Structure 1
Amino acid sequence: MSRLLLPFLGVLAFSPHTLGQDTFDWNKIKPSEKLTWTPCNTKFECARLTVPLDYTNPTAQTAAIALMRLPATVPSNSSENRGPILFNPGGPGGSGVDMISVFADSARAVLGGQFDLVGFDPRGVSRSTPRASFFATQAERVQFSSLLSLNASEDAFGRTYAHYILQSSLVGARDDGSLRFINTESTARDMLKIVQAHGREKLQYWGFSYGSVLGATFAAMFPDNVERLIIDGIEDPEDYYSTSWMNLQDTQKTWNTFLDGCVAAGPDACALYEPTPSAIQAKVDALTQQLKTRPMPAAASLSASAPSYHVVDYTLLRETIFNAMYHPYEGFQQLASALHELSLGNASALYAMSAGAGLYQPPYHCPANASEGAKEEFLDVQDGEFALVCNDGATVSTDYSDVTAKYAELCASSPWCDLWPVRLSCLGWPEYLKNNNTLSFTTNTSFPILVVSNTADPVTPRANGVKVSKGFAGSVLLTQDSPGHCSVAAPSTCTFSHIAAYIVNGTLPAPDTVCPVDSDAELFPSTAGNATQKPAVASLSKTERTREEEISAAVRSLAQSAPKILKRPGRRV
């Protein structure tokens, strides 16, 4: 789930205050009911598709969906052209445009050049308009935002409760009438419009974290319009639409891979090494309790032109650890070093790690000129996440005893509950008509779905994949034996070979297939950032070895870029 809660789920991969690698002026494109592609950002093409704002009244107001694609390497009129594959990075509220800008090259190496690789910003998000926005300016949004572990202090939970009640009041007061149409059901209809604008009727799709809810919703609404559909890092759609957010059953299992991996790696590879996992846990607990009562200063730069500083406190430490569990093959070794430095009284490494993950932003500066101000119109802000989660989900009782009881239930399932305030974000949300309670996630689809789950995913437990796969007839659950969020959290040539075979040939893995990570993938490599090349398999032909080596290189690149792909929910910055 991209922080998917951020994305609440799936975290932020992309900073909410930047446009990733996008330098294109989207105002140059006039929205149209036909896809008119314009060159943008060097090798990509961009478009804005007009869709009904309200599908029950399609001739009234419209919305404009922003899309960016890496075009197929074969002409659109060629028999070899296989049409578009749509991608969603989760969140909810993640930008598919940002995702495709960092994901496309590696995905092409895995899937081949016969597809258009298309990222789109869901309605209400980033460059798609009307955009969910509860604040008059970005400055107001930054001043209002808060980031606090629910266990950080005696009043932390109560302050968060009040914060979201107040935010919902802002939402209701500032709604221009478009907010109620920012929901997953309408986004699924938008995807069908995108497919039809390409001259096709069936969807090819790969969705991560919350993107699994979007994919499952599309399959439930349009079962006859599925050509290929991969849902990766499974959020239980029934849990999602009930606004329950009981997602943390495997989080401690993920953390245990850090503890066990550090012991196995030894002191040369893991800076936090102790002879037993419990001894490492004791060190982390001591640091956590120390920061709860005595935070530490960290300053990377105090210059007026490029300030970078923060107080490293209990919340920052907990958030940084939690975020590292999303991408352990990229983050665990760095986390161990940062924690070791913290134990020596140096908070700079932990702050640098948190800043690099987008958990904290430099001090906000108002736009210096009109062109910078224009970019704010298409900022990837968190408002779209709240709009999707709360418009989709069942009403959350504001009775304080009900809220605390539900939180206690979450905490009974995981010691990481303090970092998962997603349900609280919908307290007091305006009442809009919701139709998703009529959806059934038990159905046949025109082509079987591929479901992908990791064995130790911190926010989308494998049990969700088992449940969802049982609901869609003929679907297969492919399990990746790794920690981390979604398949891209770890390099597994096995996993991505199965994904490529499914997309290209329609070949599903055998039931109960479990893929290991590549043999050269280490949580704590002996030489950081210098993994050895995986040897080719002798039994394969030269062509097969070359293809496997291409996929292997691509999946390593995907794992490295994963922190920029998935959006984590519940981040309040």
Structure 2
Amino acid sequence: MNVAPTRRARRTLAVIAGLAVSALALSGCLYALIPEERPVSTSSPAPDTEGVDEDLLPFYEQTVEWEDCGAGFQCSTITAPLDWADPAAGEIDLALVRNRATGGEPIGSLLTNPGGPGSSGVDLVRESLTYAVGEALIEEYDVIGFDPRGVGQSTAVRCFDAAEMDAYLFDIPEDPRGSEGWEAELQERNAAFGEACEDASEGILPFITTEQSARDMDLIRGVLGDRALNFLGYSYGTFLGATYAKLFPERVGRLVLDGAIDPSIPGLDVGTTQAVGFESALRAYMADCLGDEECPFRGSVDDGMQDLGALLASVDRDPLPAADGRLLGADALTTAIVAALYSQDSWPFLSQALTGVLEGDPEFAFFLADFYYNREEGEYLDNSTEAFRAYNCMDYPVDATEEEEAAAEALIAEQAPTIAPYWSGPDPCEGWPYPATGVREPIAAEGADPIVVIGTTNDPATPYEWSVSLAEQLSSGVLITREGEGHTGYNKGNDCVDRAVEAYLLDGTVPEDGLVCS
């Protein structure tokens, strides 16, 4: 096999989805337990402009004009600088949604972020309020969802139409996996994608960064009239929240960072660690599956993993045609598997998909892959894939050496042998129109009030060691450990985690550092 000289562990799956990929959605229960229609005040406190530079006052002094947008929710749009380093260079829009505290006078605002990067916070709150936050928080806080810059209803990154996106994500390369021709074809696709994003996004790509977005969060805090930021961030949202704490430690209120990203590790290490994490979750799924008569595998866990590896190799050689004309190859099947590993409650759907593929039917596997990309009936329901790429390519420098890439591939092959053949390839950010401006470094946020970090011991997307590391980096970090499977820990049925988080957010009671919740 001819392998091109530079390949790296892909970051295609790196911290995508956050709460978007959840068991609730796959089981048909991703719904908002929406409060009944009720008269809701559209007023807001006066903006908080203390300590704001004079050239930023026009942004911080703007009035939020809330409008009813159904089911008790209120929606608005505010204006932010395109570039916080040069406020006169242009403006962008930020979309907001608010659910007013059901218990009367709120503690304040609670901003939320579902992860991604690229997931819509507006959709999270409007469509899944009680999944985003618990009932106790809904009662006491004005819960705020927002679409970060580049995302959803905010000024958004645009790239491909649906047909072009289908070809980009699902077309099978002409040359064999790992060959120079295969490598060249993927590099060409990545470059075409980057060019399309540049052409369609009206000059915003250099400013779609987590640091710019964290400054947007302070603007949202200010125009809502809160003196400090209260924030609940999941997955990528933990990086956003930690970045906010780095920039504005004196304005940190009550921050909860659930399913943390380690801000100090480079993109290559992110992809490597996630590969190992998903393999671990896949083995846990296999152990559970083998105890069920409906499981499509037999024998030991090792037997099942070998058979699954053979199945992936089979569709890599001979992709399965779906009714819509797409071919299910190993990359699409890997995406389907990953989508179902975000939550233990989704494991039965993974069994259903793999049973179908073993029988020559790819339809349910495509359902899972489409869910991952938020694709429905041939259309993409949001721009999460485009925004994900934009943020990652600006946040993560492409700076690994060939030796580091080779070491990462060797580690993945050893510790994640089932998915290793489908986890490496050209870095898509090598074809991005702009070089990364982000830095990978520890975040201490000296002077910030306590920041609660939650890590789940077998979280495949944001492995537990990242939460441990972030809690140690933060000068005021407090770690809660949830022992279990799946992505993120709060509001997932663990009473110990939920009580600790809600006591902190509601009363300011800081959890015991190192609290373990079984």
Place the TM-score, normalised by the shorter chain, in its bin.
0.7 to 0.9
Percent identity (aligned): 27
Aligned partners of 2:344 and 2:11: how far apart in 1? 16
1:55 aligns with 2:84: yes
Larger relative contact order, structure 1 or 2 (CA cutoff 8 Å, min sep 6): 1
Q: 2:504 corresponds to which residue?
A: 502
1:425 aligns with 2:428: yes
Q: 1:537 corresponds to which residue?
A: none
Give the superposition deviation at 1:105.
2.8
Aligned partners of 1:277 and 1:14: how far apart in 2? 25
Which of the residues 510, 514, 517 maps onto 1:515?
A: 517
Q: 2:317 corresponds to which residue?
A: 293
Q: 2:357 corresponds to which residue?
A: 342
Which of the residues 44, 69, 74 maps onto 2:98?
A: 69
- Helix, strand or coil for the counterpart of 2:455? strand
Q: 2:337 corresponds to which residue?
A: 321
Give the superposition deviation at 1:454.
0.9
Structure 1: where are the runs of 5+ without partners?
Answer: 23-30, 300-307, 365-375, 517-573
- Helix, strand or coil for the counterpart of 1:250? helix
**Does the Cα contact within 8 Å between 1:451 and 1:477 map onto a contact in 2?**
yes
- Helix, strand or coil for the counterpart of 2:124? helix
**Does the Cα contact within 8 Å between 2:339 and 2:368 map onto a contact in 1?**
no
Aligned partners of 1:178 and 1:232: how far apart in 2? 29
Q: For 2:333, give the aligned amino acid.
A: L
- Helix, strand or coil for the counterpart of 1:72? coil
Give the superposition deviation at 1:212.
1.0
**Does the Cα contact within 8 Å between 1:85 and 1:204 map onto a contact in 2?**
yes
Aligned partners of 2:62 and 2:489: how far apart in 1? 35
1:457 aligns with 2:464: no
Q: Deviations over 1:455-490 (max 9, x none)?
A: 111121111111111111232111111121212694
Which of the residues 243, 246, 264 maps onto 1:217?
A: 243
Q: 2:327 corresponds to which residue?
A: 311
Give the superposition deviation at 1:147.
6.3
Q: For 2:357, give the aligned amino acid.
A: L
**Does the Cα contact within 8 Å between 1:7 and 1:90 map onto a contact in 2?**
no
**Does the Cα contact within 8 Å between 1:298 and 1:311 map onto a contact in 2?**
yes
After TM superposition, list the pairs within 5 Å mapping 1:157-556 onto structure 2: 157-172=183-198, 176-239=202-265, 245-248=271-274, 249-263=276-290, 265-267=291-293, 270-272=294-296, 274-299=298-323, 310-329=326-345, 331-358=346-373, 361-363=376-378, 379-396=382-399, 405=406, 408=409, 411-412=412-413, 414-415=416-417, 416-417=419-420, 424-431=427-434, 434=437, 436-437=438-439, 441-487=443-489, 490-516=492-518
Task: Please give the TM-score of this superposition, normalised by the length of structure 1.
Answer: 0.72
1:10 aligns with 2:17: yes
Q: 1:333 to 1:144 in 2, by over 3 A?
A: closer
Q: Deviations over 1:363-402 (max 9, x none)?
A: 35xxxxxxxxxxx9x94342222221112222457x9x57
Structure 2: where are the runs of 5+ without partners?
Answer: 1-9, 23-29, 33-58
Give the superposition deviation at 1:339.
2.2
Aligned partners of 2:150 and 2:63: how far apart in 1? 20
Q: For 2:432, give the aligned amino acid.
A: W
Aligned partners of 1:115 and 1:406: how far apart in 2? 48
- Helix, strand or coil for the counterpart of 2:139? coil
Q: 1:14 to 1:479 in 2, by over 3 A?
A: closer
Deviates more, 1:490-499 or 1:388-397: 388-397
Give the superposition deviation at 1:141.
4.7
- Helix, strand or coil for the counterpart of 1:487? coil
Aligned partners of 1:459 and 1:312: how far apart in 2? 23
**Does the Cα contact within 8 Å between 2:396 and 2:439 map onto a contact in 1?**
no
**Does the Cα contact within 8 Å between 1:207 and 1:232 map onto a contact in 2?**
yes
Q: 2:121 corresponds to which residue?
A: 96
After TM superposition, list the pairs within 5 Å mapping 1:147-162 onto structure 2: 154=179, 155-162=181-188
- Helix, strand or coil for the counterpart of 2:140? coil
